[in-house]
Amino acid sequence: MISNSILIKNCKLFNELNDKPKDILIESGRISKIESNIQIKSDQLIDARERIVSPGLIDVHIQGAGGSDILDNSIASLQTISKTLSRIGTTSYLGTTVVKPEENNQHLRIAKEYINKKMGGSGLLGFHLEGPFINIQKKGGLDPSSIYASSDEKLDEILEITDNTLRMMTIAPELPGNLKIIKRLVENNVIASFAHSNATYEETKKGFDAGINHVTHIFNAMPSLHHRNPGPIAAIFENKNITVQIISDGHHIHPSIIKMIYHLIGNDRSICITDGMHGIGLRDGNYFYNKKEYISKNGAARYLDGTLIGSTTSLLNIVLKFKEFTGCSLEHAVNTASLNPAKLLKIDNCKGSLKEGKDADLIILDNDYSVFATFVEGELVYRKSSITHTS
């Protein structure tokens, strides 16, 4: 018997739906074999019964889940987020948040200690900061106190607090000093992402030249496309090196626009996200984000004045809606929330696909595409029912 091993039999691989089922052997947290009819004694044996098995999903833009938020300054909240996300198919994520200088950014100081640590569910990979160097005219649902002018000293403070755990920052390139900040972000291995910006077409291209290679929630918190004033959207579409976050929940972007985006930029540049609020995984109702009340209804989060501030649709359901809206294959839809974000974060050597040698981050889907079981680095962190026995 192989110690510390799990054998999953009869898997219908998400990218081989027309082929015969395969078996997946997990050893020491990694996928060691994907073959037909593996005959090995293992610690645990699971029969997937021809259910679909997919890579675990990676959300690069999510604030919270299960009633908890990164802003809570709480270890218990981080554990709740982790366990909730694993229940709905997300195996790793960037903790997306804002700076809170009036609170000494305590939420960042607490959360950074749990990056790449086991939390009983989905793994926290690092931070994605929306701001603070963004255009207040395009703040959306963000608190104005979390937005301020850039400087080397302010960036140094953020980099010191996050201590090599800042993976992405959303920034507006048109603001004074921000092109220099973008270059410094790139030098520090931080993804510079465009949004919450009022940039023109030309200013957006200057941001790309400075090092922006990603776009936060396309079409949201930025000028729209106009035939005489193309704005950032045209610059984004024409630059083949720019990857794009898409909130395919049916609320943030009309389905026809999602289809248009997909056909214009292709699968490899598309990255589905939730922009998820802490109402993800909870019933519809009234909740609070950053001490301000919002309504979660039908998968969308809105302040009481109607401002759309995020999604409460799971990433798995966003992927399924993306498949529906674009007409793409399940494989391509899943890749927008697994392989593509892994490539963006430069962790595709260990995450984002079902391949031998990679981390055993995977989900088993039931016949209705709900999550039947979730594995994070080979550990069964969620199961719908009892499915294992000792071999």
Q: What is the pLDDT of residue 387?
A: 58
Say if residue 333 is in the same domain as residue 379. Answer: no
Say if residue 20 is in the same domain as residue 163. Answer: no
Residue 256: is its pLDDT beyond 90? yes
* Helix-then-strand count for the chain, H and E: 10, 23
Alpha-carbon distance of 249 to 245, in angstroms, equals 12
User: CATH code at 277?
Assistant: 3.20.20.140
pLDDT in tens, 313-346: 999 999 999 999 999 999 999 999 999 999 999 9
Say if residue 201 is in the same domain as residue 222. Answer: yes
Q: What is the pLDDT of residue 386?
A: 59
pLDDT in tens, 82-128: 999 999 999 999 999 999 999 999 999 999 999 999 999 999 999 99
Residue 227: is its pLDDT beyond 90? yes
How many domains would you assign to the chain?
2
* Strand ordering across the sheet containing 243-246: 57-62, 90-97, 123-130, 166-171, 191-194, 214-215, 243-246, 270-272
Say if residue 21 is in the same domain as residue 100. Answer: no
Residue 310: is its pLDDT beyond 90? no
Say if residue 38 is in the same domain as residue 113. Answer: no
Residue 1: is its pLDDT beyond 90? no
Alpha-carbon distance values, 123 to 14, 27, 155 (Å): 22, 19, 26
Least confident of 184-188, 218-222, 237-241, 285-289: 285-289
Q: Where are the beta strands (DSSP E) in 292-378?
A: 292-297, 300-303, 308-311, 362-365, 371-376
**Whole-model pTM?**
0.96
Say if residue 33 is in the same domain as residue 121. Answer: no
Say if residue 25 is in the same domain as residue 93. Answer: no
Say if residue 105 is in the same domain as residue 27. Answer: no
Residue 251 lies in a domain: yes
Say if residue 254 is in the same domain as residue 368. Answer: no
Alpha-carbon distance of 271 to 163, in angstroms, equals 26
Residue 210 lies in a domain: yes
Q: What is the mean pLDDT of residues 78-84?
A: 97
Q: What is the pLDDT of residue 276?
A: 94
Alpha-carbon distance of 266 to 241, in angstroms, equals 12
Residue 390 lies in a domain: no
**AA identity, residue 159:** L
Domain containing residue 25: 5-54+362-383
- 61 touches 75 (CB < 8 A): no
Residue 140 lies in a domain: yes
Say if residue 230 is in the same domain as residue 374. Answer: no
pLDDT band at 293 (very low <50, low <70, confident <90, very high): very high
Residue 265 lies in a domain: yes
Q: What is the pLDDT of residue 291?
A: 80
Alpha-carbon distance values, 111 to 2, 181, 188, 379 (Å): 36, 24, 20, 22
User: CATH code at 38?
Assistant: 2.30.40.10
pLDDT band at 391 (very low <50, low <70, confident <90, very high): very low
Say if residue 309 is in the same domain as residue 163. Answer: yes
Say if residue 272 is in the same domain as residue 320. Answer: yes
Least confident of 36-45, 269-278, 285-294, 381-390: 381-390
pLDDT in tens, 47-77: 999 999 999 999 999 999 999 999 999 999 9
Residue 120 lies in a domain: yes
Q: Mean of the per-residue pLDDT values for the chain?
A: 95
